[in-house]
Amino acid sequence: MDRKISISPNMLEPFHRIVDIGVGIFLLLVLYNIFSPESFSSRPTYLALLVAVTAALGLVAFHIGGVYRDWAGSDIIQECNRIIVAVLLVFGGLLLSGYAFKVSSVYSRRVVLAAMILWPALLCLERVFIRKIVSRFFAENVAGRKAIVAGCGKLANSLDGWVQDNPWAGIRIMAFFDSTDSSCKGAAPCVGVLDDLPDYVKENHIQLVFVALPMRDEAMLNKLLLGLEDTTAQIYFFPDMTIFKHLMGGDVAHVAGQTAIVLRSSPFEGMNGFAKRMEDLIVASVILILISPFMLLIAMGIKLTSKGPVFFRQWRYGLEGEPFQIYKFRTMKVLEDGYNFTPATEKDPRVTRFGMFLRKNSLDELPQFFNVLAGNMSIVGPRPHAVKMNEDYRKHIPGYMLRHISKPGITGLAQINGYKGEVKSDEDMQKRISFDIEYLQNWSVLMDLKIILKTVFKSAWRQ
């Protein structure tokens, strides 16, 4: 399946956090070398502390100052203003800490003044460079996220104009849809009516749906959202926000210079995604190191008790509904590794005696830590179902495909609550889906760690 690489502007957030602090520290060292070179020999400890405190204050101040908020939708002037405020917070913190601990003599006034001017200036120039050159190149030559617009009025045309004027946002509007074909005269390419929109999203791997329809057309909105439940697209609703001018909370985003209510969005955007991936890499690496001798013994047991390979690969649906091959220890005499297969049941004659032991203790799932390292899976997330099961249940379980907003997991909230193993009824699946959605709505690193610990003590990682 040919798919272009999808690049989100939020992917630059971890890069910015590192570079922003690095630029400040580099400037301090360079300026000290220019204005006060003797400090490196006479006060090396103080300079080291200055660097450490600057880095710590910078991480806090840039976060509090909102520097990384709504990167793709924010105006460059607003972002530069936030950078200036954050830098002032850093130096304010340095002055207060210097006065409190009586080490302010280490500061060079020329260094401080020069750094306060140069640090935000360099960061603003970097933002301009990223937006106007680097991100424009990626958006035009690599890909960017594919979007469609439901609606063809003034707001829809405004969205289209903003996206075309700002290619650094990494968004490509592929098509417009409206209630009737005649409504789309002002927008191109107009693909058709709203009834065709869900199928177009599925067939063309659309990641973003911008809903720019009148709020009064409630029946049409409900019908559209119901049709999009069988997709993994993120949905942004653009109403007339004048009635929400006093809104202080809720999920509100700024896209294409407009205010949108986020009806559905992945919890793993930006820094959250970076934290989730680091968690997976660190925990999976440690676990694999600890269990590698045990896995070797399991492999020897499989070879000695039955003919066939040690590992077994099976197709599952993963992030955004894309199929991938999951790794397991082989527990059966047969190798049903296609899309269609018969799920194992209790006392299944295809399962070997040693395989029954592995399945009973969930040990056949251990190779999935390799999937985690490869990036197909996460340690915690909705358990991946077989392709055939997905195709069956997505047709009659509302919201089933919402679980594919995230990577599938080795264990999850549903598993530690008892919903694992064989699915015996639609009610079982509905319970699993409700727990999966609850996990996505409330995700945190702490929640992941709690699920991992409960999985270990409850042996809850079977699907």
- pLDDT by residue (tens digit) across 211-242? 988 777 778 888 898 999 888 899 998 876 55
In this predicted structure, the answer to whether residue 247 has a pLDDT above a threshold of 60 is no
Longest dimension (CA), the chain: 80
Residue 237 and residue 252: Cα distance in Å, rounded? 10
State both tokens at 35. 């204005």
- Percent of the chain, pLDDT > 90? 15
The pLDDT, as a whole number, for residue 335 is 66
CB atoms within 10 A of CB 68: 21
The pLDDT, as a whole number, for residue 4 is 36
Overall average pLDDT of the 135-151 stretch: 70
> Tokens 């989100």 map to which residue?
8
**Amino acid letter, residue 276:** K
Strand duo 323-329 + 311-317: pairing: antiparallel
Q: How confident is the model at residue 461 (pLDDT cuts 50, 70, 90)?
A: very low
361 Cβ contact list (under 8 Å, min separation 6)? 459
Residue 418 and residue 51: Cα distance in Å, rounded? 50
The pLDDT, as a whole number, for residue 155 is 81
Q: C-alpha distances in angstroms, 138 versus 127, 143, 171, 196, 437?
A: 15, 6, 11, 30, 33
Contact assessment for residue 453 and residue 445, using Cβ atoms and an 8 Å cutoff = no
In this predicted structure, the answer to whether residue 13 has a pLDDT above a threshold of 70 is no
Residue 377 and residue 47: Cα distance in Å, rounded? 43
In this predicted structure, the answer to whether residue 250 has a pLDDT above a threshold of 80 is no
State both tokens at 356. 């029954």
Q: Which of 90-99, 175-184, 324-333 has the lowest mean pLDDT?
A: 175-184
Q: Which of 148-152, 245-249, 253-257, 379-383 has the lowest mean pLDDT?
A: 245-249
In this predicted structure, the answer to whether residue 195 has a pLDDT above a threshold of 60 is yes
- Least Cα distance to 281 among 408, 369, 409, 364 occurs for 369
In this predicted structure, the answer to whether residue 312 has a pLDDT above a threshold of 70 is yes
State both tokens at 289. 């190191």
- What burial letters (b/e) apply to 359-393, b meaning 16+ CB within 10 Å? beebbbbbbbbebbeeebbbbbbbbbbbbebbeeb
Overall average pLDDT of the 152-180 stretch: 80
Q: How confident is the model at residue 331 (pLDDT cuts 50, 70, 90)?
A: confident
Q: Does domain 144-264 have CATH number 3.40.50.300?
A: no
**pTM for the predicted model, two decimal places:** 0.58
Question: What's the full length of the chain, in residues?
Answer: 463
Q: How confident is the model at residue 303 (pLDDT cuts 50, 70, 90)?
A: confident
Q: Which of 164-173, 305-314, 384-393, 442-451 has the lowest mean pLDDT?
A: 164-173
Burial class, 1, CB count within 10 angstroms (exposed 0-12 / middle 13-18 / buried 19+): exposed
Residue 378 and residue 92: Cα distance in Å, rounded? 41
The pLDDT, as a whole number, for residue 136 is 59
What φ, ψ does residue 173 adopt, rounded to 5°? -80, 120
Residue 162 and residue 156: Cα distance in Å, rounded? 10
Overall average pLDDT of the 261-279 stretch: 80
- Least Cα distance to 194 among 173, 209, 176, 179 occurs for 179
User: Could you tell me the residue ranges of all domains in the chain?
Assistant: 9-140, 144-264, 271-458
In this predicted structure, the answer to whether residue 373 has a pLDDT above a threshold of 90 is yes
- Least Cα distance to 363 among 301, 307, 314 occurs for 301
